[in-house]
Structures are given as C-alpha cells and as structure tokens.
C-alpha cells in the first residue's frame, strides 16, 4: 500500500482555501500567522471589539497547527530542577503552575466554544528508557502530586502492560491531566470562532515586511500595505526571512508522524489498553497515541532531515515503532508527513516584545496547549488587560550562534543524541529477510 504524505488529520479537516476578501488599509491589529497562536490572539481581540486582520502565507492551519500529534500536554522540556538553575525558583514554580492552568484552560475553551475536536483527557504514559530514568519519573510523579495536585503515579516495569502493551521500557509514569484531540479539527473550530467574532483572516497572503511609524506600524503584505496600531507575530516554526531577528532565535526542527493502517480491536486492546497518550525519556524521544477513533497508532518523532522528502525518516520511525511493539513488524503505514516545531535555546515557550511588536513562540513541540494560551495572553497584553501577565513573558530567547534560519547543524546534533540513546537502550536486531 502506498504511503500518503498528506497528514492523516486532513482527511477529516483539510486546511481551507479561504475566499480572498479585500485587505483593509487600516486596522487596529495585524497578526502574522493563522495557526493556533494567531487565531487565539485574533479571537480574543475581535471579541474585545478590535478590528483585526490575520495574515498567513499558506492556507490557515497549513503550518504545524493541523499537522501535529494532538497531544495536549503543555509540556515544559526542562525539568523543574533545570528551570530553577536557569531562571530561579520563583519563575520555575510559576512556569509549572501556568502549564497546569493552560491545560485546564484549553479544556474549558473547547467546551465553551463547543469545538468538536474529539478531545479526551485520557492521561499520558511516559516510558523510562533506563532504570535510573524510571527513578526520575517516580520522583516527578511525587512532585506533581504534592506541588500541583496532579493525579500522577509511577508504573513499575512488571505492571507496565496494564497501561501499554510493551516490555520496551523500564516502567514509567502515568499522569491523568493530559489529553488528546484531533488537531486539525481544533484548528478549524478556532478559525470559525475567530471569523465569527469578526476577525478577518487572509489566507495565502504573506506579510513581506513591517516598519514602526510614529504611532503604530506599516505592514507590507502580498496584497498591499496596511497601517495598524499593533502587530502580533505568531509564525513559530514557519518564521521566514521577514523577521531576521526572530529567525535567529527559533530553530525550525522537522518532526514526522506516521500512521498505521487500522488494527483489529483485539490488537489495539493489547497494545493500548488504556488508550493513553505516550511519550518517553529517550533524548530523541518518540510520542504516540491511538487515533481518536481508536483504530490506529499515530507515531511521531524526529524527521532528521532539513530538506526534501527522503524515504528514510519514515523507515526510521517504522523501525522505532516496531522496537516498541514488535508485533507491528510489517504493518502497513498509510500516512507519513512532517512539519516544523520551533526550538529555542532554553526550551521554554515565550511571549515577548521588541520595538513595540509582540511575539508568542518557541513551544518546543508542545504548542497544542501553549500556542493557544500564549496567543490569548499576547492579545490581552495589547488590550492592556491584567490577564496578559504570564510567567512566559520574560527576556526574548537568545540568538542561536552561527544560525540564520538554516539549521545546518541538526544532523550532527541528531547523530550525537542517537548515539547516546543507543548506548543506553540498544535496538533489537533487525529481522533478516526470509527469516521465520
Ligand atoms: C509533526 C508535529 C507534531 C507535533 N505534535 C505535537 C503534539 O502532539 N502536541 C503539542 O502540543 N504540540 C505538537 N506540535 C507542535 C504544535 O503543532 C505547534 O507548537 C503549534 O501548532 C504552533 O502553533 P502556531 O500557531 O504558533 O504556529 P503554526 O501553526 O506553525 O502557524 C504559523 C503560521 O505562520 C505562517 N507564516 C510564517 N511566516 C509568515 C509570513 N511572513 N506571512 C504570513 N504568514 C506567515 C505560516 O504559514 C504558518 O501557517 C507538533 C508539531 C509538529 C510539526
């Protein structure tokens, strides 16, 4: 069976080619990017009565917001201890508390707006790649329970199969505050809500430049100039040369997802008995989940390339999938696609301002929760609303040395991290062709 490079999610909710309406020459706020960040900001501002235009150079959603795994984790990549070291205890605690609020707020939002995106708080299992990683996860579960009242617990290796049908990990941790959704349906719901609230969304209309004026900004778009009092940039992993300053701060990293052909009910019950979202502690970790209808496994991880669409990243993911679930050796992969996530140097999502422009970006692969939250916060800041305060709002991410948009160093970084993972967690031998 041929593998499609179109995201699986687009079968139910493809990105819409919006009818082109006239670009208004003046408005209150211009937003660059119509993913979760831009739409969330636009919705908040339009509901507050502001005249908003949102521009996307692609079809809205065609960036990461309709390509992702749909795991609503609100993850912070650094551990609590690392954050304390980097930012101090007060900010580290505030970041963790805000992650919890952001997760809860997404659930409220989906309910309030009646967005049909198959959202379910199913819980998440994190698999330990080593015995010491298991100890770390057990400590984290304790911390989540004590500090944040999150229902979390360690799962020893002997009990792992009750949660996930594999012996691959050295046990793991379950936390019950994380859910899964259909990412493209969430995006579609947000687009409709923003438009209904009065925001004008211009698809396939790039922003080509901006310039501060005495009061406000002059924005050059592919369909003419616009004057606006405020600009919010929500371009994240798709940031282009229009903002070289931002581009030096966000490294676009390709992430790839493969989807299996439908599996039998019995097999799904064996492999994913609790239907939880999954992640793991390997340095180059994989993330996976059942499809919302419970028939397939949606499996994501690094793509490892920076250009073209070679076949090997798909084979690599297929192999990683069968390392975890050997029974899936030879299973058909119906879909395989990639998208960009935006990493920054300290791996903490951010809201920041420069020369009066507001930015929300750097979700490090966890934007389902963070992008909507940060977009809303950025909008409140524009409105001068106290709810715009956020632990994400501090110095802009630092520039990445020797980087100006082309992540030439990633193959080397991936090779180094892969080696470390292999040393900790050797792969099972490949099945020889013709072997029983
Ligand atoms: C394969 C993959 C799997 C992922 N899995 C998960 C997951 O399971 N859970 C999770 O929480 N997160 C996940 N993410 C991350 C998540 O999808 C993103 O963090 C989130 O979608 C970011 O939303 P955004 O609106 O900031 O950016 P995007 O949705 O990427 O939107 C940015 C938009 O800006 C537009 N743009 C750029 N430059 C210009 C310009 N000059 N003019 C006009 N428009 C411009 C682009 O066209 C793009 O549409 C994943 C990402 C990928 C790629």
pLDDT of 360-383, one tens digit each? Answer: 999 999 999 999 999 999 999 999
pTM, whole model, 2 decimals? 0.95
Which residues are CB-neighbours of 10 under 8 A, at least 6 positions away?
A: 66, 184
Q: Could you tell me if the CB of 40 is within 6 A of ligand 1?
A: no
- The two counts, helices (H) then strands (E), for the chain are 10, 18
Predicted confidence band of residue 410 (pLDDT cuts 50, 70, 90): confident
Measure the CA–CA gap between 181 and 59, rounded to whole angstroms. 21
Which residues are CB-neighbours of 351 under 8 A, at least 6 positions away?
A: 358, 359, 360, 374, 377, 378, 381, 390, 392, 393
Average pLDDT over residues 304-322: 89
Average pLDDT over residues 111-130: 97
Query: Is residue 176 over pLDDT 60?
Result: yes
Q: Which atom of ligand 1 is nearest to the CA of 369?
A: 11
Predicted confidence band of residue 433 (pLDDT cuts 50, 70, 90): very low
Report which DSSP code applies to 311: S
Of residues 22, 13, 18, 12, the one with CA closest to residue 56: 18
Is 350 in contact with 363 (CB distance < 8 Å)?
A: no
At 44-77, the pLDDT tens digits run 999 999 999 999 999 999 999 999 999 999 999 9
pLDDT value of residue 436: 39
pLDDT value of residue 435: 42
Top mutation candidate among 177, 252, 365, 377 for ligand 1, by most atoms within 8 Å of CB: 365
Query: Is residue 243 over pLDDT 50?
Result: yes
Q: Could you tell me if the CB of 238 is within 6 A of ligand 1?
A: yes
Average pLDDT, the chain: 94
Question: From the CA of 238, how far away is ligand 1's center (Å)?
Answer: 7
Q: Could you tell me if the CB of 306 is within 6 A of ligand 1?
A: no
Query: Is residue 328 over pLDDT 80?
Result: yes
At 72-113, the pLDDT tens digits run 999 999 988 899 999 999 999 999 999 999 999 999 999 999
The tokens for 241 are 């040369």
359 or 413, higher pLDDT: 359
């Amino acid at each position: 069976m041929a593998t499609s490079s179109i995201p699986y999610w687009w079968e139910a909710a493809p990105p819409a080619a919006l009818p082109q309406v006239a670009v208004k020459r003046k408005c209150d706020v211009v937003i660059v990017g119509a993913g979760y960040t831009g739409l969330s900001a636009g919705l908040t501002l339009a509901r507050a009565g502001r005249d908003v235009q949102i521009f996307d150079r692609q079809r809205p959603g065609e960036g990461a917001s309709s390509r992702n795994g749909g795991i609503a984790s609100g993850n912070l990549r650094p551990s609590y201890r690392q954050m304390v070291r980097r930012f101090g205890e007060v900010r580290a605690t505030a970041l963790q508390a805000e992650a919890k609020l952001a997760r809860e707020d997404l659930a409220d939002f989906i309910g309030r707006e009646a967005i049909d995106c198959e959202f379910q708080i199913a819980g998440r299992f994190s698999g330990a790649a080593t015995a010491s990683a298991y100890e770390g996860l057990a400590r984290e579960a304790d911390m989540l329970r004590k500090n944040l009242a999150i229902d979390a617990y360690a799962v020893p290796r002997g009990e792992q199969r009750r949660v996930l049908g594999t012996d691959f990990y050295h046990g793991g941790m379950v936390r019950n505050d994380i859910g899964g959704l259909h990412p493209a349906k969430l995006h579609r719901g947000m687009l409709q809500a923003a438009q209904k609230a009065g925001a004008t969304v211009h698809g396939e209309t790039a922003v080509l430049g901006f310039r501060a004026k005495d009061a406000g900004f002059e924005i050059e778009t592919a369909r003419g100039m616009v004057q606006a009092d405020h600009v919010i940039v929500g371009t994240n992993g798709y940031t282009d040369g229009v903002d070289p300053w931002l581009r030096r701060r966000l490294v676009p990293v390709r992430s790839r997802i493969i989807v299996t052909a439908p599996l039998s009910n019995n097999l799904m019950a064996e492999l994913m008995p609790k239907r939880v979202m999954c992640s793991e502690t390997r340095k180059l970790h994989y993330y996976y989940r059942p499809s919302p209808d419970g028939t397939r496994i949606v499996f994501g991880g690094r793509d490892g390339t920076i250009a073209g669409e070679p076949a090997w990243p798909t084979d690599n993911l297929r192999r990683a999938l069968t390392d975890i679930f050997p029974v899936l050796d030879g299973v058909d992969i119906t879909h395989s696609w990639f998208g960009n996530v935006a990493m920054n140097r300290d791996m903490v999502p951010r809201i920041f301002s420069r020369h009066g422009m507001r930015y929300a970006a750097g979700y490090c692969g966890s934007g389902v929760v963070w992008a909507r939250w940060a977009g809303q916060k950025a909008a409140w800041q524009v409105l001068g609303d106290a709810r715009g305060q956020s632990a994400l709002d501090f110095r802009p991410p630092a520039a990445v040395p020797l980087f100006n948009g082309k992540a030439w160093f990633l193959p080397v970084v991936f090779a180094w991290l892969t080696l470390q993972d292999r040393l900790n967690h050797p792969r099972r031998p490949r099945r020889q062709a013709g072997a029983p």
